[in-house]
Structure 1
Amino acid sequence: MPVDTRVTRMLGIDAPIISAPMGWVARPELVAAVSEAGGMGLVPGSLPVDQVREDIARTQDLTDRPIGVNIPLAFAKDPAVVDAVVDAGIRFVTTSAGSPDRYTPLLKDAGLTVFHVVPTLAAARRAVDAGVDGLVVEGVEGAGFKSPHEVAAMVLLPLVTRAVDVPVVAAGGIVDGASLLAAFALGAEGAQMGTRMLASAESAVHANVKDAVLRATETDTVLLNRERRRPMRVLRTDLVAAAEADPDRDPTPLLGRVLETYRDGDLEASLQQLGQVAGRIDEVIPAAEIVARTMAEFEHLLGTLAARHLPVPA
């Protein structure tokens, strides 16, 4: 059954699930598969502009369902990425890793719906003041670059949803119907899945990376690079242990070899950006099955929790 929220209505989707825009992971096959399943796939805008154009076009060849694009403001140095998005007829954009003031007016003037990724309540308020249509509220348990202000989603979501009146997509720790329902209970109207979609059949990463997710426990990720106040959550490996042991060395350049990990399967070549929820993933399945299982469990729990826990009137 389609779920009716402000997020699903704004984006024209049936399932309130967005796939995270993971660079070199969310290739057109994965983005299209999520959209075909009723959710919203996001093309990563962190790649070179020509690659972004190509990925949008290839994804649109694979599905006529809505797709979106993420523009990570700190990494998308070329403003031509905005033109690429607008020219391709994209209607939904998330912005992240920077000030929402930078592109929000331009994107809004072009008629796009804009959600901004925020890690704190203060950032959420700034984004709303900048005119965004909604927020992606990201907890510290999620993968990749994090705010130095480490706030978990269970704390952050209710703070934000009670303070602002725009729709919120939860990010960090979302892997199934139970976690989706928990996010809804805290005020979210949609959820973004990253690590769960990385470990999908359509994900572009090497089988070695997917196997690493399946082996991971809930304690097998670490916030690296806290010393420079640019932490990123990555899988614990020997390479990461060496980086932790040398706090004077900036580990960020190690990401320059990420294709050797994601494409070639060398787990010690670069950093694998995974969330804590990797500890809850035990199989690689198609993206459509991830969406279908998530929504089936969500609906089942939504219908049974009251009956299970509230007393029956005499």
Structure 2
Amino acid sequence: MGHDRLARLMARGAGFLGCETAILGGAMSWISERHLVSALSNAGAFGVIACGAMTPDLLDAEIAGTKALTDRPFGVNLITMHPQLSELIDVCAKHGVSHVVLAGGLPPPGAIERIKGNGARLICFAPALALAKKLIRSGVDALVIEGMEAGGHIGPVSTSVLAQEILPPLAHEVPIFVAGGIGHGGAIAGYLEMGAAGVQLGTRFVCAHECIAHPNFKKAFIRASARDAVTSVQIDPRLPVIPVRALKNREMESFAAKQREVAQLLDEEKVEMAEAQLQIEHYWAGALRRAVIDGDVETGSVMAGQSVGMVKEEASVADILGQLTDEAAHALERRSA
């Protein structure tokens, strides 16, 4: 009974994504590559490639590699501030990518029309009600509302508050997926009952067998509690650095020094603001690679959401999804009883 109700509540989101289970894989740089993405899609969820700082050639190869591992739909996450966004959109079109996820604020002029004109469905992140309304007016097909409990780049508002603010007035207009701090199926059930079309999870899948993250990275997740996932501090108010949530280590302290260095370059007018922000992005990409790929969990960035405390062991993607859907179904059964 619970699984039937879960399927009904997820039907809109699953139909929109073209999968069985309306769970998006959160796009995590270096982690959400062909192996994890294809595993998620093959297990009935929806994998999303994290393009991050990739060049168009790298994205081209990653999409082709993912297609070789799954014949099911998957998406590509693009960052709006990427200097080669236009070329990346072309790569997605060349491969007939079914869904493009845009993160990082309002899309630049023409991006929405080009993505949709290529036949893809467009999903955008909305960290506030006003932006959610604006994106819907602009023609996006679906939204992800992600709270500050998430890993990586985060907004200032918690998931539960965003869900209460955005789902009641807008859930009937476009499918809305809730993200940030979700690690148990009971929470999934709650957001679906509030009107969400589905959810997005990243942290929960890092310790999947199919994830290529270094064993040290996975061990750090399994050992961590929710309170170990902390946010970076903004040193200079003139440098609008989007906070990042990661596990406490030496790297979180080094980031303060990097901000001071970039702020000084701004002071001396050696860089423009856009270039300064890009330097910060590249810094994070490098620090994350050291942790994920090289296994340096002290001087690398171990980006993780607060749901990291619910990651207890390595398991297959299928088993993790099975556990989450069972938990959601049991929660729905208890509530209907």
TM-score (norm 1): 0.91
Q: Could you say which residue in structure 2 is the equivalent of 1:302?
A: 332
Q: Report if the CA contact (8 A) 2:78-2:85 is conserved.
A: no
Identical amino acids, percent of aligned pairs: 30
**Aligned pair in 2 of structure 1 residues 109, 19: CA closer, same or farther (>3 Å)?**
same
Q: Per residue, is there more helix in 1 or in 2?
A: 2
CA positional deviation for 1:242: 4.9
List gaps (5 residues or longer) in structure 2.
Answer: 263-278
1:23 equivalent in alignment to 2:53: no
3-state SS, counterpart of residue 219 of structure 1:
helix
Moved more, 71-80 or 23-32: 71-80
Q: Report if the CA contact (8 A) 1:158-1:187 is conserved.
A: no
**Aligned pair in 2 of structure 1 residues 133, 21: CA closer, same or farther (>3 Å)?**
same
1:168-201, Cα deviation, whole Å (9 max, x unpaired): 0011012231121122133211111111111211
Q: Report if the CA contact (8 A) 1:37-1:292 is conserved.
A: no
CA positional deviation for 1:16: 0.8
Q: Could you say which residue in structure 2 is the equivalent of 1:74?
A: 81
Q: Partners of 1:82 and 1:131 in 2: how far apart?
A: 17
Residue 302 of structure 2, aligned match among 272, 285, 290: 272
3-state SS, counterpart of residue 300 of structure 1:
helix
Q: Partners of 1:28 and 1:243 in 2: how far apart?
A: 29
Q: Could you say which residue in structure 1 is the equivalent of 2:184?
A: 176
1:107 equivalent in alignment to 2:79: no
Q: Report if the CA contact (8 A) 1:100-1:130 is conserved.
A: no
3-state SS, counterpart of residue 227 of structure 2:
coil
**Aligned pair in 2 of structure 1 residues 31, 222: CA closer, same or farther (>3 Å)?**
same
Superposed counterparts of 1:75-224, under 5 Å: 75=82, 77-102=84-109, 103-147=111-155, 150-164=156-170, 165-224=173-232
Q: Partners of 1:258 and 1:75 in 2: how far apart?
A: 17
Moved more, 260-269 or 36-45: 260-269
Moved more, 260-269 or 237-246: 237-246
Moved more, 64-73 or 177-186: 177-186
CA positional deviation for 1:17: 0.5
Moved more, 18-27 or 94-103: 94-103
CA positional deviation for 1:246: 8.6
Q: Could you say which residue in structure 2 is the equivalent of 1:262?
A: 292
CA positional deviation for 1:100: 3.0
CA positional deviation for 1:225: 3.4
CA positional deviation for 1:270: 2.1
CA positional deviation for 1:162: 1.8
User: What root-mean-square deviation, in Å, do the aligned CA atoms of Structure 1 and Structure 2 show?
Assistant: 1.9
Amino acid aligned to 1:83? D
**Aligned pair in 2 of structure 1 residues 67, 246: CA closer, same or farther (>3 Å)?**
closer
Moved over 6 A (4+): none
CA positional deviation for 1:205: 1.0
CA positional deviation for 1:72: 1.2
1:132-152, Cα deviation, whole Å (9 max, x unpaired): 0110000011011123xx110
* Count, aligned residues: 305
**Aligned pair in 2 of structure 1 residues 245, 63: CA closer, same or farther (>3 Å)?**
closer
Superposed counterparts of 1:229-240, under 5 Å: 229=240, 230-240=242-252
Q: Report if the CA contact (8 A) 2:80-2:108 is conserved.
A: no
Q: Partners of 1:146 and 1:258 in 2: how far apart?
A: 16
Q: Report if the CA contact (8 A) 2:55-2:84 is conserved.
A: no
Q: Report if the CA contact (8 A) 2:18-2:73 is conserved.
A: yes
Q: Partners of 2:197 and 2:115 in 1: how far apart?
A: 23
Q: Partners of 1:79 and 1:284 in 2: how far apart?
A: 38
List gaps (5 residues or longer) in structure 1.
Answer: 308-314
CA positional deviation for 1:247: 6.9
Q: Report if the CA contact (8 A) 2:179-2:201 is conserved.
A: yes
CA positional deviation for 1:122: 1.5
Q: Report if the CA contact (8 A) 2:250-2:299 is conserved.
A: no
Bigger RCO of structures 1 and 2 (CA < 8 A, at least 6 apart):
2
CA positional deviation for 1:243: 4.1
TM-score (norm 2): 0.85
Q: Partners of 2:203 and 2:150 in 1: how far apart?
A: 8
Q: Partners of 1:100 and 1:153 in 2: how far apart?
A: 22
Q: Report if the CA contact (8 A) 2:288-2:303 is conserved.
A: no
3-state SS, counterpart of residue 96 of structure 2:
coil
